[in-house]
A and B are shown apart, each in its own frame.
Chain A
Amino acid sequence: GAGVSQTPSNKVTEKGKYVELRCDPISGHTALYWYRQSLGQGPEFLIYFQGTGAADDSGLPNDRFFAVRPEGSVSTLKIQRTERGDSAVYLCASSLRAGGLTSTDTQYFGPGTRLTVL
């Protein structure tokens, strides 16, 4: 595709349920990032992948959050035992090279998945 895509665009779930959010990066992009954005706030870093491996997962808030990228392209963010405080827009971004967030490569963002936990 032409850009980063994320599915679903909206997800409503009940407290305690498990959810998976999917990100399709731009083809050929080595680096993939997950962020979380609450209303009126800037995005908050969650995790960054170089290829298949998580290069930095220090932004994940707790062990209910987990992300994978098994083949180095599509990534899935998994949230167990969802809580109302998990409600936010989850953004995915990709960049061409695996230079880390200190590189000057442009990050291309997807439209986000709006997660609502009732």
Chain B
Amino acid sequence: KNQVEQSPQSLIILEGKNCTLQCNYTVSPFSNLRWYKQDTGRGPVSLTIMTFSENTKSNGRYTATLDADTKQSSLHITASQLSDSASYICVVSESGGSYIPTFGRGTSLIVHP
């Protein structure tokens, strides 16, 4: 069964600090991995999309990495801001016909001033 596990479940950091969120998956065959940011009461917003051949992608202060061999991804947030407080969701899609993406439960990040 395809699974996406995210850690930690929640994280509290001080404004200006860096943090790294983890995503492990068992989805196979792999097509792509996406990181989303979801503010409370809003729909998810795409941060990065990575395919098998990509091992890092940046979007401003967000940098995602992918190790397709170990089936792990991380999202690194640099110089955190109060507006980074949100849930960060990892989503992995299969290749080869199945259109069902597998979502992680998300990591809840709180940035304190």
Instruction: Identify which of residues 23-49 in chain A touch chain B, using a CB-to-CB cut-off of 8 Å.
Output: 40-45, 48
Name the residue of chain A whose CB is nearest to the CB of B94.
Answer: A102
A45 vs B31: C-alpha distance when bound (angstroms): 17
Q: Which residue of B lies closest to A101 (CB)?
A: B99
Chain A CB within 8 A of B28 CB: no
Asked if B103 CB lies within 8 Å of chain A CBs, one says yes
Q: Using an 8 Å CB-CB cutoff, how does the interface string of A50-72 with B read, 1 for contact, 0 for none?
A: 00000110110000000000000
Determine which of A42, A48, A104 lies in contact with B106 in the assembled complex, contact meaning CB atoms within 8 Å.
Answer: A42
Q: In the bound complex, what is the Cα–Cα distance between A91 and B94 (angstroms)? A: 21
Whether the Cβ atoms of A109 and B43 lie closer than 8 Å is yes
CA distance A108 to B36 in the complex (A): 10
Q: How many residues of B contact A (CB 8 A)?
A: 25
Of A102, A109, A112, the most chain B CB neighbours within 10 A belong to A102
Task: Name the contact of A4 in the complex, choosing from B43, B46, B49, B95 (C-beta under 8 A).
Answer: B43
Do A41 and B105 have beta carbons less than 8 Å apart?
yes
| Pair count A-B, CB < 8 A | 58
CB of B46 within 8 A of CB of A42, answer no
Measured in the bound complex, the distance between the Cα atoms of B71 and A58 in whole Å is 26
Interface residue SS majority, chain A: loop
Please classify how large the interface on chain A is, using the bins under 10, 10 to 19, 20 to 34, 35 or more: 20 to 34
- A93 lies within 8 A of B31 (CB): no
**B35 to A: closest C-beta gap in Å:** 12
Question: Closest chain A residue to B42 by CB distance?
Answer: A111
Q: Is B51 an interface residue (CB 8 A)?
A: yes
* CB-based contact A48/B99 at 8 Å: yes
Residues of chain B at the chain A interface (Cβ within 8 Å)? 4, 31-32, 41-46, 49, 51, 89, 91, 93-96, 98-101, 103-106
Q: Contacts A91-B44, A102-B99, A104-B51 given; 6 further ones with Cβ under 8 A?
A: A41-B105, A44-B103, A55-B99, A107-B46, A108-B46, A112-B41
Task: Provide 25 A-B residue pairs closer than 8 Å at the C-beta atoms, listed in order of the A residue.
Answer: A4-B43, A41-B105, A42-B4, A42-B89, A42-B91, A42-B106, A43-B44, A43-B89, A43-B103, A44-B103, A45-B100, A45-B101, A45-B103, A58-B100, A59-B100, A91-B44, A101-B93, A101-B99, A101-B101, A102-B95, A102-B96, A102-B99, A106-B49, A109-B43, A112-B43
